[in-house]
Amino acid sequence: MTAIRTRIAPSPTGDPHLGTAYIALFNLAFARQHGGEFILRIEDTDQERSTPESEKAILDSLRWLGIEWSEGPDVGGPHGPYRQSERGSIYKDYADQLVNNGHAFYCFATSEELNDLRRHQTENKLPIGYDGRGLALSPTQVQQHLDDGIPHVVRMKIPREGMCVFQDMLRGSIEIEWAQVDMQVLLKADGMPTYHLANVVDDHLMGITHVLRGEEWINSAPKHQLLYQYFGWDMPELCHLPLLRNPDKSKLSKRKNPTSIMYYQRMGYLPEALLNYLGRMGWSMPDEREKFSLAEMVANFDVNRVSLGGPIFDQDKLSWLNGLWIRENLNDAEFIQRMQTWAINNNFLAPIVPLIKPRVDKFSDVLPLAGFFLSGMLDLTQDELANKKLEPEQVRKALQFTLWRLEALRHWQKDDIFAICKGMAETLEIKPKDLFATLFVVITGTANSVSVFDAMQILGPDMSRARIRHAVDLLGGVSKKEAKRWDKEYQAL
Ligand code: GLU
């Protein structure tokens, strides 16, 4: 029997997500349980959105959690490079192979043409999707277009009728009508592969035997299965894990819940407790015990024990479990040492000191000034949030709108944070300094503190947003109906 090899294949396009850690954990546990290997590959073919900072944050966060890979961009291995952007012309060669074998074709349609097509389909209530126009070109026309240097993509052929049937380790046979599957672009006009081509080629070349991934990829499976057939390769076993959910059952999203692993690190959760909690997402130990280590999980792992009901990521439950780990597993000396690793250290304090030093006369001033950097949600009252110039309703709305803007901010830098907050105040026709007055309290806990924008940069996006969300809740929250109304208003700004 071939050795089991699993992988995590994150795209470095944002903060390291809890979902990535959860999927990584299950792949790791599955591989180790079977004496196999778990590897890490970076899927950065989306050059516009991928950043080295995000890649570093993902690797650092997974390592912090105790997840280790035996091959990857940082540790190397026999199947490298493990970063798709460094894999040269591999994908183009495979795309050419598919074209030559008649499994894929060139498409010269411009984006205007495709937009017109979509508009026509929408207006006439037709199914939305590519209509196969590239296939209608004769070989001579195709050659002529290529000779003329007309930009083109490569698309895969998809049967127009019948049913695609594939197997999922948890769900058994899954059927999807071919008519629902688009003639996927495999190679973009710039020669870069899309996720589908790169993912299949690399899983094959890296000897991956089992793909455990989030259920949002189920709809990609028909394309992948067909690509494996076109290439004549065995397909890895597929296992689509249930998505993590917010306590209200909606898909875990940063709009409702901090989703970045770095937030949980900053909050002072122990990595082993967070990993333990992620292991409880849809899975349980044979004896149902809640607290277990990674080694215990690996020893007892059985993917068939994964339940498909959407697992709920509940911070209160996590805090309870974390408390058990702190109290039962750390003696006092370890407690001190782990607190130091967490925040009482040079790295953590270095950016804070320049902010507080100008206000410090003696060291006993430090904690009252800087305590909010080490806190989670601040203990604020409605009175403390009261604004001298603005009505509570205005404040609530301004905070919520600012929060939405901040959710879309990619680079968490103080100048950009400032620009967003100022811009939002102006858009809502309130004085920026009036909005800032409340933001000070929301973020730092007092009206007179260090620069709130510096503080937000240091606290990071998730902690800053969580505090704003907490303040909006303190001011009465946003009902579903109101959220809808405000969202409309917000989109129109
Ligand atoms: N790059 C994909 C992601 O960002 C990988 C999906 C898969 O595991 O196939 O999650």
Q: What is the pLDDT of residues 418-470, one digit of tens each?
A: 999 999 999 999 999 999 999 999 999 998 888 999 999 999 999 999 999 99
Residue 330, judged by CB atoms within 10 A of its CB (0-12, 13-18, 19+), counts as middle
Q: Which atom of ligand 1 is nearest to the CA of 43?
A: 1
Residue 476 to residue 393: CA distance in whole angstroms = 9
Q: What share of the chain has pLDDT > 90, as a percent?
A: 89
Give distance in angstroms: CA of 11 to centre of ligand 1. 7
Residue 395 to residue 431: CA distance in whole angstroms = 12
pLDDT at 212: 98
Give distance in angstroms: CA of 416 to centre of ligand 1. 30
Among the listed ranges 61-75, 169-183, 252-266, 334-348, which one has the minimum average pLDDT value?
Answer: 252-266
Mean pLDDT (whole number) for 271-275: 98
Q: Is the CB of 11 under 6 A from ligand 1?
A: yes
Tell the residue number behind the tokens 């780990």, with chain if given: 325
- Number of Cβ atoms within 10 Å of the Cβ of 229: 11
Task: Please check the confidence at residue 263 and state whether its pLDDT lies above 90.
Answer: yes
As given in the structure block, the two tokens for residue 188 are 């973009």
Q: Is the CB of 9 under 6 A from ligand 1?
A: yes
Q: Is the CB of 44 under 6 A from ligand 1?
A: no
Interval 214-232: pLDDT, tens: 999 999 999 999 999 999 9
Mean pLDDT (whole number) for 58-76: 98
Q: Which residues contact 370 (CB under 8 A, 6 or more apart)?
A: 352, 356
Give distance in angstroms: CA of 7 to centre of ligand 1. 10
The set of catalytic residues is 254
Interval 397-407: pLDDT, tens: 999 999 999 99
Look at ligand 1, atom 5, and give the residue with the nearest C-alpha: 9
Task: Please check the confidence at residue 1 and state whether its pLDDT lies above 70.
Answer: no
Q: Which atom of ligand 1 is nearest to the CA of 8?
A: 8
pLDDT at 388: 85
Look at ligand 1, atom 3, and give the residue with the nearest C-alpha: 10
Give distance in angstroms: CA of 121 to centre of ligand 1. 30
Q: Is the CB of 490 under 6 A from ligand 1?
A: no
Parallel, antiparallel or unpaired: strands 37-40 and 104-107: unpaired
Residue 415 to residue 60: CA distance in whole angstroms = 26
pLDDT at 257: 86
Phi-psi group of 58: left, alpha or beta (phi > 0 → left; psi -120 to 50 → alpha; rest → beta): alpha
Give distance in angstroms: CA of 351 to centre of ligand 1. 34
| Bond prior to 222 in cis (omega within 30° of 0) | no
Q: Is the CB of 311 under 6 A from ligand 1?
A: no
Q: Is the CB of 43 under 6 A from ligand 1?
A: yes
Q: Is the CB of 217 under 6 A from ligand 1?
A: yes
Identify the residue with better confidence: 444 or 492: 444
Look at ligand 1, atom 10, and give the residue with the nearest C-alpha: 10
The average confidence (pLDDT) of the chain is 95
